[in-house]
Amino acid sequence: AVNLAGEASLCQLRAVSTCATCVVANDSGVMHLAAALGAQGVAIFGSTDPVATGPIGGRWIVLQETLECSPCFARTCARREDAAYACLKGIGVSAVLQAITALGDGL
């Protein structure tokens, strides 16, 4: 695994996305670029709607914690501090690893 968060240029992301076995990204430009290039991956959605802004292209598994307040499309969580960002915190490492494994099984 290689973490390129905040470290790679657009050209570098393009090169890595075309070679990667699996891309893990949130609903961002990286996810859209990788999907457009045909990469497969795991897309993590919090406050946004995967039906409206999900990956197009490649084979992707979308992970999203369904809450009464989602999708809210807010950049900052309005929930109480003890429940803030529950839409993201509810997606655990094990769920991401299971999704990566499921994608690998399809190769």
Q: What is the pLDDT of residues 77-87, one digit of tens each?
A: 888 888 889 99
- Averaged pLDDT for residues 9-16: 90
Q: For every residue of the chain, which 3-state class applies, written as one string?
A: CCCCCCCCCHHHHHHHHHHCCCEEEECCHHHHHHHHCCCCEEEEECCCCHHHHCCCCCCEEEEECCCCCCCCCCCCCCCCHHHCCHHHHCCCHHHHHHHHHHHHHCC
The whole-model pTM stands at 0.87
- The reported pLDDT for the residue numbered 106 is 61
pLDDT interval class at 41 (50, 70, 90): very high
Residue 5 scores a pLDDT above 90 = no
- Averaged pLDDT for residues 33-42: 94
